[in-house]
C-alpha cells in the first residue's frame, strides 16, 4: 500500500515553489521601498469574501430548515412568539411537502471493491435487508463489486442472496472503479427510485420515504446527510465527524436553500432511476459523483439536499488513508471545476444566482488553496526585511482577520446546533481550536492534488477500511418508523 510519505517531496516542492519564490519576490520589492500594503489588502479581501460566504451559509442553514412540519400546536407562548418573529423575518423555514402518492418500488445500489471491503460488506447488506423500511411495491438490493481475485466472501454473499431473493450479487469483470460497477447494474434496476450507497453505509430506516416526498415534487435527485459512525476512534475521526456535520448539515443545506441546487455526494443519494440511467457515471473522472452532479444540473435536472435523510459511514482512521482520500477529492474537484466552469457560465438551465454560486464553488474554491497561501510569503518577506513582524494598525486588516477566524468558530457553533449525532461537546471545542491547523492541512493536500493534476497523475488510491467496531451514534429520530409517509417525523 502506498504511504503518504511518498508524496512528501511533492509537498516540499510545491510549497517551496509557492512560498519560496513569492517570498524572495516580495522581499526584493520591500528592499526597493515598496510597502506592499495593496497586495496585503487584496489577499485580506479574498479571505473576507470567503468568511462572509461562510457566515451567510451558516446563518441560512442554522435558521432555515428544509423540512419542518406544516402546523404545530404551540403550547408554550414563548415558542409561539419565536415562531411568529421568525416567520416575519422570513427565516421560519419551508413546509416540507406531504407525499400524495405511495412510495414506488425502490432499488439500492451498493458499489464495493471487495478485497478492501470484504470485512464490512455483509454487515452493510444485513443492515439494509433487515432495517430499511420497504415500500409496498417492493425493494431490491444490488451489490455490484469488483475483485482481482476470487474471495471466500463471495460464497457467503451467494448464500445470503439465496435467503433474500431481493438481493442480487453482480461481480463486474474487468472493472477497476466504482463508476464501472454502478454502470454495470443500471440496466438491471427495476425500481423507480434508486439509492446509491458505498459498502460502509448504513442508511436510516426511513430513508426512501423521506426522499420520495421531494422526488414526487419534481426533484430528480435527493442527497441525504452522511455522518461518521466510527467517530470515537481517534482525534482524526472526531474531527472528520464534526467536519461532516458542517459539510452535510450546513454547507450543502445552505447551497440547496439558497440556490435550489445541490450535489450528489457519491452515496446516500436517491435518484429517479430513469434520470440515473441517462446520466450514468464517468469512470474517467476521479470524483465520478461530482461529475455526475454537474452533468445532471447542466442537463436541466434538479438536485436537492435534505439533511434529515441520514446514513452513517466510516471515516478513515489513519492519516495515510485520510491523505489519499482528501487528495483524490481535491484533485477530483479541480478536474470537475476545470471541465465544467465555462459550461456553468454558458448554461441555459441554470439561473444567474446558481451560476454565481457554482462559480464560487468551482472556480473560487479551486484558486482558494493557492491564493490563501500567499499571505505567508507576504509575512515572511516582512520578517526577513524588518527582522520581526510588526503589529498592523490598519483597521481593515484587523476586521478581515477577526472575521476570518470567527467564521470558523461560528460555523462550528452552528454545526453543534444542527448535529444529528449527539457527539460530546469536546469534539466541537477541539474542532474549533484545531480548525485553523486542520484547514491548513487540507489546503496542503489540495496543493499536492493540484501538482498531481498538472502532471497527469490521477491514479485512484483505494481508501483502506478499518474493521474495528464502530461506536454507535444515538439517533435523535426513533430507530423504526411506521412504513407509511404519515409516520415521518420532522427533520433538521
Partner 1 sequence: MVNPQPHRSQRLVWLEGIRIFAVIGLLLYHAQVVFTGSPYTPQPTGLLDNWQHLLIANQHFQQGGFFFHLISSLVWFGFQFFSVFILLSGFTLVLSLQGKTLETGPFLRQRFARILWPLWTIAWLGYPILWALGTATGRSSYEAWTILVGSTFPLAFAFDGAVLVQTSQSWWFVPLILSLVGGFPWLWTLLQRWGSRNLLVVALFVTLVYRGLAIYWLDSPFPYSLPLAANNGWQPFLLLPASLGTFVLGMGAGHSYCQGRGPAFWQPRQALLLGLLLYSLGFFCQFYRWGWLLTDLLLPSGLVLVGMVGFRALAKSQLMQQMVLGLGGYSYSFFLIHGLVVDHTIHWVIQDNTGLYFLLLPIMIVGTLILAILVEYISPLLQRLVVGLLRDVDYVLCQNPDPPVAAWQPVVGDPVCYRGESGWTIVKVEQLLDEQEFWLCQVSNGWKSIWVRQEDLEPAANSPQALAIRSSPDRPNQSSAFDQ
d(CA 228, CA 473): 8
CB closer to partner 1, 385 vs 405: 385
> Number of C-alpha atoms within 13 angstroms, CB side, residue 305?
27
Q: Which residues bind partner 1 (CB under 8 A)?
A: 24-25, 27-29, 31-34, 174, 183, 278-284, 295, 298-299, 338, 341-343, 345-346, 349, 454
Reading phi first (left if > 0) and then psi (alpha if -120 to 50, else beta), residue 36 is in left
Nearer to partner 1 (CB atom), residue 31 or residue 402: 31
Looking at the Cβ atoms of 147 and 404, the one nearer to partner 1 is 147
Closest CA to 20 of 453, 449, 384, 438: 384
Residue with cell 411568529: 84
Minimum gap (Å) between residue 29 Cβ and partner 1: 6
Minimal distance, residue 476 CB to partner 1, in Å: 38
Q: Please, which residue, 264 or 323, has the CB nearer to partner 1?
A: 264
First to last CA, the chain: 40
The strand pairing partners of 305, in sequence order, are 223
Q: Smallest distance from the beta carbon of 180 to partner 1, in angstroms?
A: 8
Cβ–Cβ < 8 Å for 175, 185:
no
Task: Write down the least CB distance from residue 330 to partner 1, Å.
Answer: 18
Nearer to partner 1, 22 or 485 (CB): 22
Q: Give least dist CB 298 to partner 1, A.
A: 5
Tell me if 255 sits within 8 A of 305, measured CB to CB.
yes
Q: Which is nearer to partner 1, 295 or 431 (CB)?
A: 295
Asked if 374 and 22 count as a contact pair (C-beta separation under 8 A), the reply is yes
Q: Is 226 helix (H, G, I), strand (E, B) or coil?
A: strand
Task: Please give the Cα distance from 486 to 372 (Å, whole number).
Answer: 49
| Burial label, 202 (beta-carbon count in 10 A; 0-12, 13-18, 19+) | buried
Q: Would you tell me how many other CB atoms lie within 10 Å of the CB of residue 424?
A: 11
We find the least distance from the C-beta atom of residue 383 to partner 1, in angstroms, to be 16
Residue with smaller CB distance to partner 1, 279 or 303: 279
Nearest distance, CB of residue 300 and partner 1, angstroms: 8
459 exposed, middle or buried (CB, 10 Å; 0-12, 13-18, 19+)?
Answer: exposed
Amino acid at each position: 500500500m502506498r504511504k503518504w510519505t511518498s508524496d512528501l517531496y511533492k509537498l516540499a516542492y510545491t510549497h517551496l515553489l509557492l512560498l519560496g519564490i513569492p517570498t524572495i519576490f516580495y522581499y526584493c520589492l520591500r528592499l526597493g521601498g515598496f510597502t506592499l500594503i495593496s497586495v496585503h489588502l487584496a489577499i485580506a479581501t479574498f479571505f473576507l469574501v470567503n468568511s462572509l460566504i461562510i457566515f451567510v451559509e451558516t446563518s441560512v442553514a442554522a435558521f432555515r430548515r428544509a423540512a419542518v412540519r406544516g402546523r404545530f400546536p404551540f403550547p408554550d407562548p414563548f415558542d409561539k412568539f419565536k415562531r411568529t418573529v421568525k416567520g416575519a423575518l422570513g427565516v421560519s423555514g419551508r413546509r416540507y411537502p406531504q407525499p400524495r402518492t405511495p412510495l414506488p418500488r425502490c432499488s439500492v445500489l451498493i458499489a464495493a471493491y471487495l478485497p478492501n471491503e470484504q470485512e464490512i460488506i455483509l454487515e452493510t447488506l444485513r443492515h439494509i435487508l433487515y432495517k430499511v423500511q420497504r415500500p409496498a411495491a417492493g425493494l431490491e438490493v444490488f451489490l455490484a463489486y469488483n475483485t482481482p481475485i476470487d474471495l471466500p466472501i463471495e460464497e457467503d454473499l451467494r448464500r445470503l442472496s439465496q435467503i433474500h431473493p431481493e438481493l442480487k450479487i453482480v461481480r463486474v469483470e474487468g472493472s477497476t472503479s466504482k463508476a464501472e460497477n454502478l454502470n454495470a447494474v443500471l440496466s438491471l434496476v427495476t425500481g423507480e427510485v434508486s439509492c446509491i450507497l458505498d459498502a460502509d453505509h448504513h442508511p436510516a430506516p426511513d430513508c426512501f420515504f423521506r426522499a420520495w416526498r421531494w422526488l414526487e415534487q419534481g426533484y430528480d435527485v435527493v442527497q441525504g446527510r452522511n455522518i461518521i459512525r466510527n467517530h470515537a476512534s481517534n482525534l482524526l475521526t472526531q474531527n472528520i465527524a464534526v467536519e461532516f456535520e458542517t459539510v452535510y448539515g450546513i454547507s450543502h443545506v445552505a447551497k440547496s436553500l439558497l440556490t435550489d441546487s445541490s450535489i450528489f455526494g457519491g452515496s446516500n443519494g436517491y435518484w429517479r432511476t430513469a434520470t440515473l440511467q441517462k446520466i450514468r457515471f464517468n469512470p474517467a473522472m476521479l470524483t465520478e459523483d461530482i461529475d455526475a452532479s454537474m452533468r445532471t444540473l447542466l442537463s436541466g435536472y434538479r438536485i436537492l439536499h435534505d439533511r434529515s435523510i441520514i446514513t452513517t459511514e466510516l471515516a478513515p482512521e489513519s492519516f495515510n488513508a485520510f491523505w489519499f482520500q482528501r487528495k483524490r477529492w481535491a484533485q477530483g474537484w479541480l478536474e470537475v471545476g476545470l471541465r465544467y466552469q465555462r459550461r456553468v457560465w454558458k448554461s441555459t438551465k441554470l439561473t444567474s444566482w446558481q451560476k454565481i454560486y457554482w462559480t464560487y464553488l468551482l472556480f473560487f474554491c479551486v484558486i482558494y488553496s493557492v491564493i490563501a497561501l500567499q499571505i505567508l510569503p507576504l509575512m515572511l518577506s516582512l520578517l526577513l526585511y524588518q527582522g520581526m513582524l510588526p503589529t498592523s494598525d490598519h483597521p481593515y486588516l484587523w476586521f478581515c482577520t477577526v472575521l476570518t477566524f470567527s467564521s470558523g468558530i461560528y460555523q462550528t457553533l452552528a454545526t453543534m446546533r444542527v448535529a444529528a449525532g449527539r457527539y460530546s461537546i469536546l469534539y466541537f471545542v477541539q474542532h474549533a481550536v484545531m480548525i485553523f491547523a486542520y484547514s491548513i492541512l487540507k489546503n496542503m493536500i489540495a496543493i499536492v492534488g493540484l501538482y498531481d493534476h498538472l502532471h497527469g497523475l490521477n491514479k485512484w488510491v483505494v481508501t483502506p477500511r478499518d474493521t474495528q467496531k464502530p461506536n454507535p451514534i444515538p439517533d435523535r429520530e426513533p430507530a423504526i418508523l411506521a412504513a407509511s409517509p404519515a409516520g415521518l417525523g420532522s427533520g433538521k
